Amino acid sequence: MLTIAPPAGAPTRLEQIAHLNDRARLGLDRTARIVVTRNCLATLGPIEGPVAMLNQARLMAAARSCTFSADSPERDLGVFAIDGHTVWVKIDSYDRNLEYGSDDPADPVLTTRVVTILLPEDW
């Protein structure tokens, strides 16, 4: 089988996945879905109305600056704190129809990312 080496300086597969996960978490990937669990939103106040919308915006702003541990090189599980609560940001890669895991998470054409903002107990 003939294999072609990537050009010098090209991102590795892991770096490409991390970059695409960052784009989804930052809200720059128009194909990504962003979900906040009901339990996570409820810890900040009402889950409906204008206050809930403001709390969703606060969660998204905090998720943009979450931290990642060394055992998350794809940057698919981040952590941040808000109002004294530990919150996770989990990114999963699915096929375009959101039915199965992506065949190649490094390929944005084949992958739809789902960013879930949740409390650890929601896991």
- Rounded Cα distance, 6 and 1, in Å: 16
pTM metric for this prediction: 0.89
pLDDT for the residue numbered 10: 78
pLDDT tens, N- to C-terminus, the chain (123 residues) = 655 666 777 789 999 999 999 999 999 999 999 999 999 999 999 999 999 999 999 999 999 999 998 899 999 999 999 999 999 999 999 999 999 999 999 999 999 999 999 999 999
- Express each pLDDT in 60-77 by its tens digit: 999 999 999 889 999 999
User: Contact 19/91 with Cβ under 8 angstroms?
Assistant: no
User: Contact 97/31 with Cβ under 8 angstroms?
Assistant: no
pLDDT for the residue numbered 21: 98
pLDDT for the residue numbered 11: 84
Neighbours of 112 (CB within 10 A): 18
Tokens for 5, please give them.
């080496």
pLDDT for the residue numbered 2: 59
